Structure 1
Amino acid sequence: MKVSLPILFTFVAYISASGQQQHTDSLKTDKLEEVIVTGQFEPQALNKAVHQVRVITKRDIQQLAANNLGDVLNQYLNISVRTSGSDGRSQVSMFGLDAQYFKILVDNIPLVTDNGLGNNTDLTQVNLDEVERIEIIEGAMGVTHGANAVSGILNIITKKQSVHDCEISATVQEETVSDEFAFFNKGRHIQSVKASHNLNENWSVSAGINRNDFAGYFAERKGKDYSLNDGLRGYTWLPKEQFTANALAGYRNGSFRLFYRFDYFGEQVDFRNPIVVPQDNYPFPETFYANDRRYISNRFNQHLNAYGKIFGTLSYNVSLSHQRQQRDFEDFRYQLETRHESANSRKKYQSKDVLYSTGTLSGFFKSDSFDLQLGYEAVAENGFYDASAGIFKDDNQQLTNIRKRFGNYDVFASAEIKATRKLSIRPGLRYSFQSVFDDQYAASLGLRYLFPKAIEMRMSLGRSYRTPNFDELYTYFVDSNHNLQGNESLSPEAAMSYELSVKKSTSFDADVKVSNTLAVTLLTVDDRISLVLEDIVPTQRYKYLNIDRYKMWNLASTNQLSYENWNLNLGLALVGISQQIDLAALGATSDNRFLYALQINSSISYSIPAWRTLLAIYYKYNGRQQQYIASTDANNNAAFLLSEIEAYSWMDASVRREFFGKKLEVSLGMRNLFNIRTIRTGTATTGIHSGASDMLLGYGRSAFVKLTYNLNFNK
């Protein structure tokens, strides 16, 4: 769906607001003094940080009725969320770089995924029930967070302690999927229960469970029990059921803090084959069955963290984590008349076992003007892929399973220098000892200067790196029609990021506050890994190679206005991307000119204190995106085609009200008000791989209602 720019700007001017910056340092309720921890030596106020940190608060998550990370990031400036209907997964890209370059952490621990550690994260698998806030830093953060923190990091801060001595809450959420809804076999159904208890002034415990049942999106499909062999059996978006559970025990005594957290995630995704197979039961009527498949994922995460002081002044923060993730597939025959399964065969598809530890030590100098932080990161990763997961083959062209171990041991140092009352400087350096690749390093320099009249300027530059993933290293898929090869000789990619931002905050009186931020970012990636067309005859041969060069610059403006009970935000970002691929063997080189895309996001919220009610509208415009792709022309010669994704707009709206002294919370709203389902994507040039097609983006306009009952006790 396209929206013309004049109409768009008229709309934005009317509602104002920034979906991103309503998440950040909102001008209401003293959020400018909110404490952050990501990338800091010690927890400190948001406006004192050298890095520009965005904050998504618990209130923002509640207002969006967000259950997973994808529900939230869809409204964030400079971030694009892509959801696949075939497997229901959502992944994020920032500054045009995909999920491999963006690192997601939970309490500073990178989250293990099918094909990464902290990156390539499926956003739908990150539950937000126990989240206190989300902190985002754009740009290279390789010094503090290691590999793959190229375009930015997202750190989920979980709730550690209750406000009341005992808290119990139960939530039920019902959503339509487009216009499809039924209590058991259509729509989205979420239930959760949480409980926490402060045992005494030192000890606290909490636990929670959540079930998220997405019954799939039918559209023109007819579901699993449809027996005609016309290609309409199954679902447009696959059904998916998720279950999460967590438990936490925490201890506090003075400056010493200790917590242990356990998380479990389970997921089941059902694929219903559109091909129906007839059975001849002569002399009885003909029966039918289908060969279906089920994907089953399980993830366990244990995290132990200790924070405190030694020798009176030195502050330490140490974490140890063990994560295990496994994805199985189960093939079975589904009998359509009896609706029973048979011949079930389950096999391990992919697994990963990661032992991770990180720690920092700071406070070496008894000075307010200088501090030094020393740190380490240790990773031991053991991965397994079944042959069918990535079509892996050995040197004898035989299907084989892949078992590989990756490891790294990193040391890093960072200093924070307050040269004057107005100028802060933050240099940093990391060295990574790699077990598979050449050793890597990351470096950064951050500056913050406070001008008169509440003007803050921040500058940062940083070098980071991305390590190749399993598919890029080991895939080998060759037959009469395909030739797709990984490359074990790949090197990590190197990236440089430069950012300058200026922020101005103004208070006209007690009720009117304005904040404006202008930021410019430049990001380059050298030796970028691309799937490259190496040869055309006798078949097209593709191989992963380090030959790509990527440049991006971004100009972003975020603006906030707070007046009495109104909170308005507006954000605009213009992104230019240049990507050059040199196919020397085929005599073709891609155009390296910059291709531009515009993003606008906005929000408006209005609170009615007398009714304990908050109304909000969120809007985001994603402009046309273009890139060159390697292909062949009409004469079967190597060529680069200009591919594009058309522009589209997304809007959500909600009303949230509290009853009975905050015991009952009711949220009503609608997602995807513009009813987006597909957008056009493809190339406009002639050639074998040219042409346009529809890319599945959403399942249309949906409504939700969420009820939460809170029961709190104090001794």
Structure 2
Amino acid sequence: MKALIRILLIIAAADALAQDSLKTLELKEVVVTGQFEPQSLRKSVYQVRTISSEIIRQRAAVNVQTVLNTELGIRFSNDPTLGTSDIALMGMSGQNVKILLDGVPLLDRGATRESLNQIDINTIERIEIVEGPMSVVYGADALAGVINIITRKGVADDRNLSVDARVQEETAGEEYDAFSKKGIHNENVNVAWQGNGWSAAASVTRNNSGGWKESRATDQAVREWHPKDQWLGMGTVGYNTDRFKIWYRLNYLNENILSNENTYVDIRTNALMAIDREFITNRYTHQAQAEWQLTNRWDLTAQASYQDYSRRTQATTVNMETGDRRLYLNDAAAQDEARFDSKTFRATALHRLSSTVSIQPGIDVNLNKGFGDRIDGTRTINDYALFASAEVSPSKAVNVRPGLRFTYNSVYDAPPVIPSVNAKFALNNKLDLRLAYAYGFRAPALRELYFSYHDANHDIDGNPDLKAEHSNSFTGSLAWQTYTSSAWRMTTTFGGFCNFFENMITLGTTDAANNRYTYVNVYKNRTAGGTLNNSIRSKQVQASAGFAYIGVYNDLSEEDRSLPSLLWTPEVNATVTWHLDALGASVSAFYKFNGSRSSYTATTVNGEQVAALGKIESYHWADLTITKKLMKYLDLGVGAKNLFDVVQVNSTVTTGDAHTTGGPLPVGYGRSYFMSLNFHLTQ
């Protein structure tokens, strides 16, 4: 009998621990993006996805793209010419996605969101993704949604000092050399301290990739994935009291991408020559933020940033026999530099009128400047805005958030008023319904207005007469706590969206015979789709599976009614993590199926214009990681990425992008393997 009682007590204790673990996990799911103040994920009027630092660690990621590439509704496209990548969210390209670093918009030189892979992955605490326009809160460029990168602040667990170090070595397909050249190499050191209200931290990271070359390539100098070397530095200092917080941070990036072009024979010397192009980027980001709780009813927040960005192209010729290297001056784009800077200031006041009503007025100022060899003179775009939102909760089951934004822009005619309304209804203790309408807009970027790029392969001009993009968006979601017990929690979420766009900005052909392009406004566009997500969670296992069906507008359907107005693409993803506490280890698997994408292009056959159907083929992606605690302060990680060994996918689509035509599209560099050591000390 005593033995039976002991067994029952052990089971009860384990059950209580599991329940406490789940409750603690739920309490930790706090979001800040677009919120009046930090609050639990379930209480937010927005449908927010979060990616924790634990997931980032399990992904063995060296950049943000590695973390996001198996997320539902997110796809990346790679530009082999420039060595950059861009994101698409729910069928909309990166130019419609707002990238924030602790709430501050990051500067990009053009429509491509290069900044996403220029953030130090080792400093990230979590990533928050909000789908749908957030123009009232964050202004232009947030038509598709917002990705907010939240960085670590101070030292966890109320300790005074933390020291973190990381070394990760990864193959690029079958290519690898230890710590340099072939393969991918990541090293990081981070030191943080806090005491007596003060905090300080510093971090240095090196990301090095030797690029990758298809084994069948005929030219040994050319690599399909360019070698890249990044140095990232961060320093921050802050001061906190119970009612006041202030901090300053400086981030620095130096990036060097090397493009090895085809070799050729110099007809004068008969020497074998090669052209190397280096794309050199330097980025300084200064950021300051303050929070002040004046009273129990009034909070003030303010943030300011200054970003200085430059990208330089340097081309050289190399004598493959003697090694002699000289500047290449045979085309205008061989030696050039573009510089951009951005100044932002944002301030909000939160006033709690009562337990059921809160209001938040604010101001938002964005000053952008660009100049360089490819930009006609020095150009500026200044944006000034006033905005206000309210949260009204007439009952515990209802939360409504209307908002308005008033904007003045120095270059284009901004919408006089930008409205939005979000609502959350707790139908019962297991069902949460969210509905939203938002009017969105995107300002033309400096690059789209004034950019000029002419060389042997490009002929692109900006268009100073561009109009701002506009959208009307409707979104909804239903979250259902399908099963809850002391040890398990299961959630199912249904979502849907529909976006109507006007004046979408895209590259248009002005002279097809000579590949000349400029930026133009497209009269209208549309996206729609639905999602289904399931997640299950316990102390030992976290798993999720999702499905998305996303439709993108076919503009040729306006001329030919027999063509479909929307072209649909399926996506499936799944993740699972299993914690083996007895072994001090965990196993994680990540999977994504990207369905084929279709597109109609106008073409001429026998002198008659017809619509030609093109497709980008589907592919599967999967990663597997294992982590093991070796000792108190040291963890080991091993695994494999791109298990399906995807290198490229076939495409018969020709678009208006100057770098995108029919033919194979690069996706990955084949199946790769990694090993990492992570050191973490706190005291």
With the length of structure 1 as denominator, give the TM-score of the two structures: 0.86
The answer to whether structure 1 residue 653 and structure 2 residue 646 are counterparts is: no
C-alpha spacing 1:534/1:344, structure 2 compared with 1 (3 Å): closer
> Structure 2: how far apart are the matches of 1:194 and 1:124?
19
Are positions 1:641 and 2:612 aligned together? yes
* Contact 1:482/1:539, CA 8 A, preserved across alignment: no
Structure 2 residue matching 1:80: 3-state secondary structure: strand
Please give the secondary structure, in 2, of the residue aligned with 1:70.
Answer: helix
Indicate if the aligned counterparts of 1:221 and 1:232 stay in contact, CA closer than 8 A. no
Percent identity among equivalent residues? Answer: 28
Q: 2:574 matched to 1:602? A: yes
The AA in structure 2 aligned to 1:254 is D
Residue 193 of structure 1 pairs with residue 189 of structure 2: yes
Question: Cα 1:469–1:591, aligned 2, differ >3 Å: closer, same or farther?
Answer: farther
- The question of 1:373 aligning with 2:360 is answered yes
Structure 1 CA distance for aligned equivalents of residues 160 and 456 of structure 2: 67
Indicate if the aligned counterparts of 1:241 and 1:267 stay in contact, CA closer than 8 A: yes
Partner of 1:234: 222
AA aligned to 1:576 is: G
* Segment of structure 1 superposing worse, 613-622 or 509-518: 509-518
Tell whether 2:262 aligns with 1:292.
no
Relative distance call for 1:613 and 1:258 in structure 2 (3 A) is same
State the shift of 1:313 in Å: 3.0
Structure 2 counterpart of 1:620: 592
1:220 partnered with 2:215 = yes
Alignment of 1:431 onto 2:406: yes
Match of 1:253 in 2: 241
Q: How does 1:521-670 map to 2 (within 5 A)?
A: 521-533=497-509, 543-563=518-538, 565-580=540-555, 591=563, 593-629=565-601, 631-661=602-632, 663-670=633-640
Shift of 1:455: 1.0
Distance across 2 between alignment mates of 1:634 and 1:482: 26
Instruction: Identify the residue that residue 14 of structure 2 maps to in structure 1.
Output: none
Task: Show the 5 A alignment for 1:166-181.
Answer: 166-181=161-176
Q: Report the Cα distance in structure 2 between the residues aligned to 1:121 and 1:478, rounded to whole angstroms.
A: 21
Q: Write the letter of the residue equivalent to 1:92.
A: I
Aligned-partner residue type, residue 707 of structure 1: L
Q: Aligned-pair distance for 1:566?
A: 2.0
For the Cα contact (< 8 Å) 2:578–2:586, is it kept in 1? yes
> 2:649 and 2:608 mapped to 1: Cα distance?
29
C-alpha offsets along residues 331-384 of structure 1, whole Å, 9 cap, x if unaligned?
Answer: 22323234353348895421101111111111152x110000001110111112
1:711 and 2:676 matched: no
Looking at structure 2, the residues matched to 461 and 206 of structure 1 have their Cα atoms a distance apart, in angstroms, of: 41
1:479 & 1:696 partners in 2: Cα distance? 23
1:81 paired to 2:76: yes
Q: Judge which range, 666-675 or 572-581, deviates more.
A: 572-581
Shift of 1:449: 0.8
- From 140, 152, 165, the equivalent of 1:159 is 152
Alignment of structure 1 residues 182-581 onto 2, 5 Å: 182-183=177-178, 184-198=180-194, 200-220=195-215, 231-278=219-266, 287-310=271-294, 313-343=297-327, 347-365=335-353, 367-387=354-374, 401-440=376-415, 441-475=417-451, 485-533=461-509, 543-563=518-538, 565-580=540-555
Letter in 2 for 1:699: Y
Q: Which runs of 5 or more residues in structure 2 are unaligned? A: 1-20, 655-659
Structure 1: distance between partners of 2:336 and 2:280: 9
For 1:481 and 1:699, how far apart are their aligned partners in 2?
Answer: 25
Is the CA contact 2:22–2:539 (under 8 Å) kept in the aligned structure 1? no
Q: What secondary structure is seen at the aligned counterpart in 1 of 2:261?
A: coil
Which one scores higher on RCO, CA 8 angstroms, separation ≥ 6? 1
**8 Å contact kept, 1:548–1:582:** no
Counterpart of 1:144 (choices 137, 147, 163) is 137
Give the counterpart letter for 2:116 in structure 1: L
Cα offset, 1:694, TM superposition: 1.2
The answer to whether the 8 A contact 1:89-1:122 is kept is no
Deviations 1:68-97 (A, max 9, x none): 110111010011112233333121101211
- Partners of 2:457 and 2:175 lie apart in 1 by 40
Q: Distance in 2 between matches of 1:174 and 1:319?
A: 37
- After TM superposition, the score normalised by the length of structure 2 is 0.90
The total of aligned residue pairs comes to: 651
Aligned match of 1:132 in 125, 137, 162? 125
Q: Is the 8 A contact 2:243 2:294 kept in 1?
A: no
Secondary structure in 1 matching 2:199: strand
Structure 1 ranges of 4+ moved more than 6 A: 477-483, 538-541, 587-590
SS at match of 2:95: helix
CA distances 1:431-482 after superposition (whole Å, capped 9, x unpaired): 1100000122421101111122421111111011011224432356799999
- Report the secondary structure of 2:196's partner residue: coil
SS in 2 for 1:682: coil
RMSD: 2.8
In structure 2, do the counterparts of structure 1 residues 691 and 336 end up closer, same or farther at CA, with 3 Å as the change threshold? Answer: closer
CA distance in 2, matches of 1:384, 1:635: 46
SS in 2 for 1:59: helix
Distance 1:364 1:551, change over 3 A: same
